[in-house]
Amino acid sequence: MEILRAKTAGFCFGVRRAVDTVYQQVEKSREPVYTFGPIIHNEQVVADLEARGVQVVERAEELEKLSGGTVIIRSHGVPKSVCDKIHACGLKCVDATCPFVKKIHRIAERESQKGRHVVIIGNDGHPEVEGIKGWCSGPVTVLGTAREAEEFAPKEGTTLCIVSQTTFNYNKFKDLVEILEKKRYDSIVLNTICSATEERQAEAREIAAQVDTMIVIGGSHSSNTRKLYEICKQECENTYHIQTSVDLDKKPFQCIGRVGITAGASTPNNIIEEVQKHVRVEF
Ligand code: F3S
């Protein structure tokens, strides 16, 4: 059987770096290790880390109750106030914010200090967006739809700095920027979209078009996995979404001919490997 496994399947660079950081800290730290929020949205990884003693801190207020240890910041990043609080509580801070997100923090901080109104094209409430907001010292607005962009009307003379959430759709970003540019504010636009998601989707599409069976691995609640599934299904009717290799035995598989495998952004490598092995042995 021929298996085509996507090179971009699973963790992107930033998530891999953050997960590796936690495992390294567990190895070398004698004090408790915490992550600020779950390090990734993958039950198996979070459970494995929990078994190694890693605890998840959900809110900034909880930091005050900790009596020492290391707090790791995940790839999404956090507002500046959280970093400050970790230090103020006498805890060690290990920042695993993805460097692409960190770059946006620096831009937001710098341009905000210069007096620009920061506009984040993204989904309000998303942890990454909340983090970026928290590096602005002046006005900041999140715009996620054309309507919001049209209604955005800061007072005349306002200067803008427009950035985007790393996972935002490029075409949507372009449309919103166009709307804002018509308003003729003095603005600088920085396309801070990360290409990892797009590359993963493009490769999945390409592989799905060449195979007889396509397997998409990822959490049932993972929106990027669902998106991958939809893309693959368009190219290959025989596409399946599974969470782990266990699901391979449950589903009515028609595993025939060439098989393609891809995985969502929070699927660890060992799960992808297990699926690959299982397909080779069982089908
Ligand atoms: Fe991943 Fe960092 Fe891009 S976390 S999706 S590599 S911005």
pLDDT band at 55 (very low <50, low <70, confident <90, very high): very high
pLDDT of 34 > 90? The answer is yes
Note the pLDDT of residue 252: 66
Alpha-carbon torsion, ordered 143, 149, 155, 157, to 10 deg: 100
Average of pLDDT values for 233-250? 91
Q: Is 201 in the pocket of ligand 1 (CB under 6 A)?
A: no
Please tell me if the CB atom of residue 166 comes closer than 6 angstroms to any atom of ligand 1.
yes
- What pLDDT score was predicted for residue 62? 97
Q: Is the CB of 132 under 6 A from ligand 1?
A: no
pLDDT of residue 251: 61
Closest-lying ligand 1 atom to the alpha carbon of residue 15: 4
pLDDT reported for residue 26: 97
Told to judge if 111 belongs to the known catalytic residues of this protein, a careful annotator would answer no
pLDDT at 254 over 80: no
CA distance 109 to 103: 10
Report the candidate in 21, 16, 15 with the shortest Cα–Cα distance to residue 33.
Answer: 21
Distance 256 CA to ligand 1 centre (A): 34
Q: What is the mean pLDDT of residues 40-59?
A: 92
CA-to-CA dists, residue 283 to 3, 90, 201, angstroms: 11, 55, 26
Q: Whose CA is nearest to atom 6 of ligand 1?
A: 14
For residues 19-29, give the mean pLDDT: 96
Across the range 126-144, mean pLDDT stands at 97
Is 29 a known ligand-binding residue? no
Predicted pLDDT of residue 169: 87
Q: Judge whether residue 230 has pLDDT over 70.
A: yes
pLDDT mean over 129-149: 98
- Of 50, 61, 128, 235, which one is the catalytic site residue? 128
The CA 32 to ligand 1 mean position distance, Å, reads 27
Instruction: Please tell me the predicted confidence (pLDDT) of residue 224.
Output: 86
Rounded to the nearest angstrom, the distance between the alpha carbon of 192 and the centre of ligand 1 is: 11
pLDDT in tens, 159-205: 999 999 998 888 899 999 999 999 999 999 999 999 998 899 999 99
Burial class (CB in 10 A: 0-12, 13-18, 19+), 156: exposed
